[in-house]
Amino acid sequence: MERGIGLAHEVRRTSARLADGREIIYFDDVTEVRSPRPDERPLGTRAEAGEMRFDALTGEWVAVASHRQNRTFLPPPDECPLCPTGRGSVPSEVPEPDYDVVVFENRFPSFSEGAPDIAATVPEPLFATAPARGRCEVVCFTSEHTGQFAQLPPARVATVLDAWVDRTTALSSLPGVEYVFCFENRGPEIGVTLHHPHGQIYAYPYVPARSRAMLERARAHRQATGRLLGSDLLAAERAAGSRVVLETDHWTAYAPFASRWPVEVHLVPNRSVPDLPSLIDDERADLSRVYPQLLRRLDRFHAAPTPIPLPYIAGWHQAPVHEGRDDWRLSMQITSILRAPGKLKYLAGSESGVGGWVTDVTPESVAARLRELGDA
């Protein structure tokens, strides 16, 4: 058995290569040795990311990835590229007939280790560019095409968590990587183009704009008070109580005071840690139980007349790789654009134009509804 980096329980980690050279990693919670089957698809040369362009108006980087225009879009179930090979009519990205959790390099990456070098000379200083060098990975939570994360048993959630920890540690060690973001997009309303339960991991060559803003706020708070902003926020939310959704020995979920989205919940560890690899075994075990419970509540948030699966984005805000780690506090943010059955929150003029957010739902009412639903 090859143990992954920081795995908390007995999980077998097996690394192999796909036909175009991309890495694929199996995380299995059984003891039998896996002998990876070869990928026999005629894939040709792998796609590499292109360049990043610097927006002089905002100070933000934008990745230009024109090859992603050709990525797979809403294939029929029998052509799903994330199901095990043999369950559909065509070979998939996973050559095996079955798997527990699998991670592989994205076939259409926004960032890649092979991004070509760009000439150092800049003919126009306002038009700065850089290689889109990093890595993008896909995480398949289950081999079942019609499943969802909320339905996973705690043992399988623990395996997904082990995969997140392993990949966060490994990707953080890559040259030039500054930030690692593990996330899941769910639902066609979000723009999901593959229905198989999966998430992604982006390893950025810079600290993204929102993460940078969060870091600067955390630094300023620590300089002013000597304390962690995330810890003070958690203490304040728990003291107020009206926005707390659930509490356990190791985790607290709450609807934040200044929620932007119709449904927004933060899930945070009660202990101050900067990232997923810093969690201890008890915290991971508790998370494996509480996170699916929270997702099941969210799936019952809208009931008209039957529960509506909530479209959401769930992402782990981890400390940057090389800076601000003593100022940062790990958190999971879950947001949904569904403000009512059949009604979406659109980022229209104010939000998209100037970043002036307006919300139609109070976080107190969201938290009260989620408390009322209880566990299922």
Architecture of domain 12-39+46-206: 2-Layer Sandwich (3.30)
| Residue 360 tokens, joined | 């139609």
In three-state secondary structure terms, 12 is strand
Catalytic residue among 9, 67, 195, 198: 198
Domain with CATH 3.30.428.10 in the chain: 12-39+46-206, 228-373
Closest by Cα among 38, 50, 202, 196 to 114? 50
| Residue 345 tokens, joined | 């929150």
| Spacing of C-alpha 100 from chain mean position | 18
Bridge partners of 140, per DSSP, are 102, 198
Model pLDDT, residue 31: 67
CATH assignment, 228-373: 3.30.428.10
Q: Along the chain (376 residues), what's the average pLDDT of each consecutive run of 10 residues?
A: 53 96 94 89 90 95 86 86 95 96 96 86 84 97 94 96 98 98 96 94 98 98 98 98 98 98 98 98 98 96 83 98 98 96 92 94 97 85
Active-site residue 302, yes or no?
no
